[in-house]
Amino acid sequence: MFPLQRGRRLRVNESIRSLVRETTLSPTDFMFPMFIAEGENYKVEIPSMPGIFRRSIDLTVEEVKEIFALGIRAVNIYVKVDESLKDNTGKEAWNPNGLMQNAIKAIKAACPEMVVMPDVALDPYSIYGHDGIIENGDVANDATNDALVKMAVSHAQAGADFVAPSDMMDGRILRLRQGLDAVGFHNVGIMSYSAKYASAFYGPFRDALDSAPREADVVVPKDKKTYQMDYANRIEAIRETLMDVEEGADMVMVKPGIAYLDIVREVKNAVNVPVTVFHVSGEYAMIKAAAERGWLNNDKIMMEQLMCIKRAGASLISTYFAKEAAIILNK
């Protein structure tokens, strides 16, 4: 008689396992982060992120069309800003003919159904590498929010479907919602980086955009811990996310991914809006480095981690593996 219940009956072969599988992945689960640079016919691989490139707008458009054909329906875009355009105001961020704005226009013209979510933060435009305006040795919250509203409105004017504030300023979701609505962009959504931790996993990303905090001739914070979250905290993530939803966020994000799956589940249980998870550059780079040395199987680890993120509660996964994973899923 023992045992009456045998779990292995449901694992006998792949056909049975597929019938009872609780979580599945599709290319529509992914958003592809893309780095955009000035120039034409320009494509340079990021050394710390094998297989990921900075591209000029023309080549970005070609890549967007290719990933759309694979079933990916969203891109999260970032720009590598020329040093001559950086200052402490971020004014290039709302230049109607800036690199970000021109990229949005080009992507939407070439692939209208691709959902474009440009990054909203000042670090690519800052001479100090911070996500906001430096005043009196710190990042000025409210002055930064004013700048972010101008930035988000310029993205909406260029054709963005969502804006994606990654700055972690207090109150910025309400200010962005009010700013967008005031000029008629009621249908432009906000995907808030709500639980964004001060993580060491962002290193390769900062290499890609040259957006790490810098030494300066004035006093500036040496890191981003005064606005990004302490990775020891869990309840704070729920509080931050709930506030963002109350202020008008249409989607929320947990960042990083694999090391924060407990937070993903907590956030999923707490809110009634879609939850995005950012599988970040450091998590990508670790898999690539281990695979290059033959220590891990790239494809198997990639798919396992993406499945685990989805299982934890992600509605959408922003991942540098999006294209690779979509190709495998389509096979």
Give the structural domain span for 192.
23-252
229-239: per-residue pLDDT in tens?
Answer: 999 999 999 99
**Closest CA relative to residue 243, chosen from 275, 195, 197:** 195
CA-to-CA distance for 93 and 70, rounded, in angstroms?
31
Q: How far is CA 161 from the centre of its chain?
A: 15
Domain total for the chain? 1
Domain-located, residue 11: no
Binding-site annotation, residues for Mg(2+): 240
**Per the domain annotation, does 158 fall within a domain?**
yes
Taking only the tens place, the pLDDT of each residue in 28-51 is 999 999 999 999 999 999 999 999
126-172 tens-digit pLDDT = 999 999 999 999 999 999 999 999 999 999 999 999 999 999 999 99
Peptide bond connecting 47 to the previous residue in cis, omega within 30 degrees of 0 = no
Residue 64 placed within a domain: yes
> Is 284 within the bounds of a domain?
no
In a domain, 81, yes or no: yes
On average, the pLDDT of the chain sits at 95
Residue 3 lies in a domain: no
Residue 16 has pLDDT above 80, yes or no: yes
pLDDT, tens digit, 9 for 90 and up, residues 276-329: 999 999 999 999 999 999 999 999 999 999 999 999 999 999 999 999 999 999
Q: List the end-to-end C-alpha distance of the chain, in Å, as a whole number.
A: 43
**pTM strictly above 0.85:** yes
Task: Output the known binding site.
Answer: 240
pLDDT tens for each residue of 95-111? 999 999 999 999 999 99
Nearest Cα residue to 281 out of 221, 218, 226, 200: 200
CATH number where 148 lies:
3.20.20.70
As annotated, the active-site residues are 196, 255
